[in-house]
Amino acid sequence: MKTPVEHAPRPFEDYEGVRQGFSWDDVRARLPGLPGGRGLNIAHVAVDRHVAEGHGDRVALRCLGEDGSVADLTYAGLAEQTSRFAHVLDDLGVRPGERVMTLLGRQPEQYVATLGTLKHRAVTAPLFSSFGPEPIRDRLRLGDARVLVTTRQLYKRKVAQLRDSLPGLEHVLVVGGEPPPGTLDLQAALDAAPPSYEIGETDPEDMALLHFTSGTTGKPKGAVHVHAAVAAHHATSAFALDLHEGDVFWCTADPGWVTGTSYGIIAPLTHGATLISYGGEFDAQAWYRLLEEQRVNVWYTAPTALRMLVKYGVDLPRQHDLSALRHIASVGEALNPEVVVWGREAYGLTVHDNWWQTETGAIMISNYPGMEVRPGSMGRPMPGVEATALVRGADGRAAVVDGEARPAATGEIGEIALRPGWPSMFRGYLDDDERYAACFKGGWYCSGDVARVDEDGYFWFVGRADDVIKSAGHLVGPFEVETALMEHPSVLESGVIGKPDPVAGELVKAFVTLKPGYEPTEELRMDLLAFGRRRLGGLAPKEITFDQHLPHTSSGKVMRRLLKARELGLPEGDVSTLEGSS
């Protein structure tokens, strides 16, 4: 493997200086608004303005199929196709502010529909294509979708059976063959539409994006984001992902989730980068070939994917020329320090963890290029973001006393909280003002995640507030236990829960996935229990169960709630009543 390219010093060698000199107003002022002072529109910033600036021939999107196919779309081509889609919405009578949802894979139509919807000033809401019919129905109904864009196959398998129960869904546009009854052919509609479109006046506070939370604790919530969020997408991708004009960027997140939209579509295009979209499933050989052949500069992926790559060791990446790769970042769950150490050996690069949520709309806390990375830490707050960990009450959430919330002491576990005001902060939960108001306490947005902050301002993830285990008077963060167990040479992954106990309240129980070559013997179980006691003392797991198939969310997180449901013998389909489920 060739050594990654050397680069000039990065700005975060002076972290405090960058923070002090930063202003969201300055970021907004530097973004190109609509001509004639007609406001700010995400699609204009991401696409049309590059054409106006003379970069229309640059490749904006490269879609790679699992079969080796390659489909390129330049910025000029993307501007034309998104304009055609905006006209299609006009012809369907869709009004600004109405919802257009996509149920698509990583294919050109996903990007065209998303950006064309924003250009039209309707609201784009992506759905994960692996959802079953019920999650799809929930989101179409909750979002009051008027238009759905999907494939012929997905429509027949997952949507056709729902149409009678969704009277508000007036139009379904399909790709991939003869449209089924009750649907329209998207390609035919695009071909018949004009290739240019004048974006109407767009208030930065106009609703633009509707992202659904995963719904693991009941029905999903629709988080509302506005066009002004593009300022945060642009700035945070420069700071946390080191994105520059002309870069080749690969985000492995599915466009059906907030990461796949904010950083898999919008952010790289605002920088004039070339966005790589890969339609295949995870395959270590294929991924490394992609990184090599496409000369990827910046790679944004998930801890789960990186842990899967760990199984293949360091020899496989060294067989590929990854010299173009200069920055790797991770998102979706906390990044185990062992993966950071392994990444340095495998790639000669540090994997940079960061933290954010559907509600924040953009990265809030990160490890930055040019700054010390402490393996296991989420990093430090983004410029323009005031973050803290608030003292918690008996319920594990931030405690407000006399109208005020107090930051936790250094090293003390507290709920991660952010001072409102960054551009991508969600503006509400759709049709649920009460739930939205409950997210704010004492002048802070309270995230529901808990962490500790060290003396230098680095944040260290502990878990969800409801996940924290209360055992014999101790508060035990499951991530801390999971991370310690992964230091054992046999452990690939683990999930930790609190098991009800009449004496201790809860016992710490771990479910462990072993690396290839290790057998789940009683001797190994005892060795792991002893290893845990040496590493964690009284916080160590009291029970360990081997499980080679830990349940994961579609974004790759271990589903502790399902582990707990299995342990208690509860139906996995309805665990929302579990205290502490998340």
Alpha-carbon distance 210 to 124, whole Å? Answer: 6
The pLDDT assigned to 214 comes to 61
Q: 283-291 long-range contacts, Cβ below 8 Å, gap at least 24?
A: 284/308, 284/309, 284/312, 284/316, 285/316, 286/66, 288/316, 288/317, 288/319, 288/320, 288/322, 289/320, 290/64, 290/250, 291/250, 291/320, 291/322, 291/325
Distance linking the first and last C-alpha atoms of the chain: 41
pLDDT exceeds 70 at position 143? yes
% pLDDT > 90, the chain? 73
Model confidence pLDDT, tens digit, residues 243-265: 999 999 999 999 988 999 999 99
Q: Domain 11-347, what fold? A: Rossmann fold (3.40.50)
CATH 2.30.38.10 residue ranges of the chain are 387-464
Fold category of 387-464 in CATH: Luciferase; domain 3 (2.30.38)
CA torsion sign, 513 to 300 to 73 to 224? positive
Identify the band that residue 582 occupies on the pLDDT scale cut at 50, 70 and 90.
very low
- CB-based contact 391:407 (threshold 8 Å): yes
CA distance 207 to 97: 6
CATH 3.40.50.12780 domain span(s) along the chain: 11-347
What was the pLDDT predicted at 417? 97
Sheet containing strand 274-278, strands side by side: 70-74, 59-64, 274-278, 248-251, 298-301, 327-330, 351-355, 365-366, 380-381
Rg over alpha carbons for the chain, rounded to the nearest Å, is: 24
Rounded CA separation 123/142 (Å):
14
Q: Report the distance separating Cα 577 and Cα 582, nearest Å.
A: 10
* pLDDT higher at 343 or 3: 343
pLDDT at 579 (0 to 100): 29
In angstroms, the CA 467 to CA 453 distance is 19
pLDDT of residue 94: 98
pLDDT of residue 218: 52
Exposed e or buried b for every residue in 410-427, given b needs 16+ CB within 10 A? eeebbbbbbeeebbbbbb
Angle between helix axes 75-91 and 108-120 (nearest 10 degrees) is: 60
- Measured CA to CA, the distance from residue 438 to residue 428 in angstroms comes to 11
Q: For residue 145, what pLDDT is reported?
A: 97
Mean of the pLDDT values across residues 404-424?
95
More confident residue, 549 or 202: 202
Backbone phi and psi for residue 494, each to the nearest 5 degrees, phi listed first: -150, 155
Residue 309's pLDDT is what? 93
Specify the long-range contacts of residues 433-437, CB closer than 8 Å, at least 24 apart. Answer: 435/221
Segments of 457-514 assigned E as strands: 459-464, 469-471, 474-476, 491-501, 505-514
pLDDT for res 14: 87
Find all residues with CB under 8 Å of 399, minimum gap 6, and list them: 390, 391, 392, 393, 405, 406
Q: What angle do CA 255, 560, 339 make, to 5 degrees?
A: 65
CATH 3.30.300.30 residue ranges of the chain are: 469-568
- Mean pLDDT over residues 527-541, rounded? 85
Across the range 263-272, mean pLDDT stands at 98
- Compute CA distances 189 → 334, 417, 465, whole Å: 43, 46, 48
- Provide the CATH number for the domain formed by 469-568 in this structure: 3.30.300.30
Per-residue pLDDT, 134? 83
Residues in contact with 331: Cβ distance below 8 Å, sequence separation at least 6, in sequence order: 253, 259, 263, 300, 301, 302, 353, 354, 356, 363
159-181, pLDDT tens digit by residue? 999 999 999 999 999 999 899 99
Residue 498: what pLDDT?
86
Encode pLDDT of 436-453 as tens digits: 999 999 999 999 999 999
Candidates 89, 78, 361, 104; CA nearest to 207 is 361
Residue that wins the pLDDT comparison between 282 and 115: 115
* Least-confidence region, from 134-138, 339-343, 408-412: 134-138
- Rounded to the nearest integer, the mean pLDDT of the chain is 90
Cβ atoms of 457 and 450 closer than 8 Å: no
Lowest mean pLDDT among 49-53, 307-311, 431-435: 307-311
What is the pLDDT at residue 132? Answer: 83
The more confident residue out of 547 and 553 is 547
Q: Could you read off the pLDDT of 46-80 as tens digits, one per residue?
A: 999 999 999 999 999 999 998 889 999 999 999 99
Q: What are the residues whose beta carbons fall under 8 Å from the beta carbon of 198, sequence distance 6 or more? A: none
Q: Count of alpha carbons within 13 Å of 474, Cβ hemisphere only?
A: 16
C-alpha span between 478 and 449 (Å, rounded): 12
**Is 297's pLDDT higher than 60?**
yes
* Sequence-distant (≥ 6) Cβ neighbours of residue 416 within 8 angstroms: 355, 365, 387, 388, 389, 446, 447, 449, 450, 451, 459
Beta bridge partners, 222, equal: 212
Question: Is 576 a residue whose pLDDT tops 50?
Answer: no
Q: Please give the average per-residue pLDDT across 461-474, as a whole number.
A: 72
- The mean per-residue pLDDT over the stretch 499-505 comes to 75
Q: Is residue 211 within 8 Å of 225, Cβ to Cβ? A: yes
Which amino acid does the sequence have at 468? V
* pLDDT given at position 475: 60
